């Protein structure tokens, strides 16, 4: 029995070391070559910093919208860890008045419309969505793209001194929503 436990421990240790050596996994903050690497979008408006931290999945030959990302189900809008939104300013984002702070963002995609979900929780696993912690929901604008985008991307773009857009682009879909810094 003791030899069996030692062999299991040794096997696990070797597997962990091999994963680290080949850049697989995220052990204790280590970030090797992940299938969905970390990415960031940020913008500064009226001296206030707004940032989105996310993990960017790739198509890798898969059908995304309506398949990997099912219609009518809440999606973490990325991979690995829930996508984070941090704002130094109070924002009007769609129909929501969002106080400055840190949140997670989720989406509810359907074939005809997307809904942006702002959740009060942040840093949770991408499958640990808790709807009772929602700050609110608001509709996004939707546009079909002519050619596919391989790697999911989130953009924060300035459209004025105190206004911008938050956009999600992947496969043949672009979903976006305007936001404004509140006084």
Identify whether residues 71 and 118 lie together within a single domain. yes
Q: Are residues 15 and 53 in the same domain?
A: no
Task: Find residue 52's DSSP bridge partners.
Answer: 41, 85
Query: What's the mean pLDDT in 11-35?
Result: 44
- 65 and 99: one domain? yes
Give the torsion sign (CA, 59, 64, 67, 69).
positive
- Residue that the structure tokens 């999600």 belong to: 168
Same domain, 139 and 162: yes
Q: Which residues contact 4 (CB under 8 A, 6 or more apart)?
A: none
Could you tell me if 47 and 59 lie in one domain?
Answer: yes
Give the pLDDT of residue 33: 62
Per-residue pLDDT band at 45 (split at 50, 70, 90) = very high
Give yes or no for residue 14 having a pLDDT over 80: no
**18: domain range?**
1-33
> What's the length of the chain?
183
Count how many domains the chain has.
2
The reported pTM is: 0.80
Q: Are residues 94 and 158 in the same domain?
A: yes
Task: Check pLDDT > 50 for residue 30.
Answer: no
- Please report which confidence band the pLDDT of residue 81 belongs to, taking 50, 70 and 90 as the band edges: very high
- Give the integer Cα–Cα distance in Å for 153 and 168: 6
Asked if 57 contacts 152 with a C-beta cutoff of 8 angstroms, the reply is yes
Judgement on whether residues 171 and 102 belong to the same structural domain of the protein? yes
For 129, the token pair is 């969505």
User: Do 18 and 92 fall into the same domain?
Assistant: no
**Once rounded to an integer, what is the mean pLDDT over residues 164-169?**
98
């Amino acid at each position: 029995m003791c030899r069996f436990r030692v062999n299991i421990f040794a096997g696990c240790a070797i597997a962990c070391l091999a994963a680290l050596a080949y850049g697989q996994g995220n052990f204790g903050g280590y970030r090797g070559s992940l299938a969905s690497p970390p990415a960031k979008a940020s913008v500064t408006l009226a001296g206030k910093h707004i940032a989105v931290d996310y993990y960017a999945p790739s198509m890798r030959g898969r059908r995304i919208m309506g398949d990997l990302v099912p219609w009518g189900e809440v999606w973490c809008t990325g991979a690995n860890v829930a996508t984070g939104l941090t704002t130094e300013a109070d924002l009007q984002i769609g129909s929501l008045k969002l106080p400055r702070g840190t949140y997670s963002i989720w989406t509810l995609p359907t074939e005809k419309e997307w809904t942006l979900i702002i959740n009060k929780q942040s840093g949770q696993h991408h499958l640990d969505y808790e709807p009772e912690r929602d700050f609110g929901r608001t509709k996004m604008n939707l546009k079909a793209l002519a050619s596919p985008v391989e790697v999911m991307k989130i953009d924060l773009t300035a459209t004025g001194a105190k206004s911008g857009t938050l956009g999600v682009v992947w496969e043949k879909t672009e979903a976006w929503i305007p936001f404004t810094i509140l006084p």
